[in-house]
């Protein structure tokens, strides 16, 4: 037991107030009248926290894995795509860019509108006859 002593000018110095106050406050500790109180207090908190802790563990694994994979593959790809897009935007559409086309397109370029009328419209009978003779010959 901490006994209260007196001291100081009025017989009640701050040091003594400390002992007095600590003795008083000890009365407010639930453990005094309830042995094992703090163990139970902690147990109740930990029991109720178990679900949230489990959720955090599960969430931690999933999110961590996903972020790690993303950081290894998708992020560099996205960065590269963004860089290419930026370059294209910066350069803009070029008027002087050469016209490019495939071989087949080049062969049939500008002929579509004339081939069928030419063959069946009778405007070039010589050529049509030659086509018929050739097919009969083979």
Partner 1 sequence: MVAMGRPDDSELVRRARGGDGDAFGVLVNRYMRAAYAVALSVTGAHEDAEDAAQESFLVALQKLEECRNPERFAGWLLTIVRNRSRNLVRRESLRDMDQVPASAHSRTPTPERETERSELRGRLGAALDALSQVQREIVLLHDLEGWKHREIAERLEIPAGTVRSHLHFARKALREALDESLVREVGEERV
**Residues 108/114, Cβ–Cβ less than 8 Å:** no
Q: How far apart are CA 24 and CA 17, in angstroms?
A: 10
Piece in contact with partner 1 (CB under 8 A), picked from 21-29, 80-88, 99-107, 116-124? 21-29
Q: Establish if 128 lies at the interface with partner 1 (CB under 8 A).
A: no
Q: What is the CA radius of gyration of the chain?
A: 47
Contact 12, 6 (CB under 8 A): yes
| DSSP-based three-state secondary structure for 19 | helix
Pattern 33-72, binding to partner 1, x per CB under 8 A? xx---x--xx-xxx-xxx-xxxxxxxxx------------
User: 14, 96, 104, 113: which one contacts partner 1 (CB under 8 A)?
Assistant: 14
Question: Which residues here bind partner 1, judged by CB under 8 A?
Answer: 1-4, 12, 14, 17-18, 20-30, 32-34, 38, 41-42, 44-46, 48-50, 52-60
């Amino acid at each position: 037991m901490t006994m209260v002593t007196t001291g100081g000018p009025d017989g009640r110095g701050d040091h003594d107030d400390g002992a007095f106050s600590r003795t008083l406050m000890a009365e407010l500790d639930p453990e005094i009248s309830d042995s094992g109180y703090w163990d139970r207090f902690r147990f109740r908190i930990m029991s109720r926290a178990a679900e949230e802790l489990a959720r955090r563990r599960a969430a931690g694994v999933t999110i961590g894995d996903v972020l790690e994979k993303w950081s290894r593959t998708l992020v560099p790809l996205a960065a590269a795509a963004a860089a290419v897009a930026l370059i294209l935007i910066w350069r803009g559409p070029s008027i002087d860019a050469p016209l490019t086309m495939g071989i087949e397109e080049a062969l049939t370029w500008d002929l579509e509108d004339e081939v069928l009328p030419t063959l069946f419209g009778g405007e070039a009978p010589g050529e049509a006859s030659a086509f018929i003779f050739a097919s009969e010959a083979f």
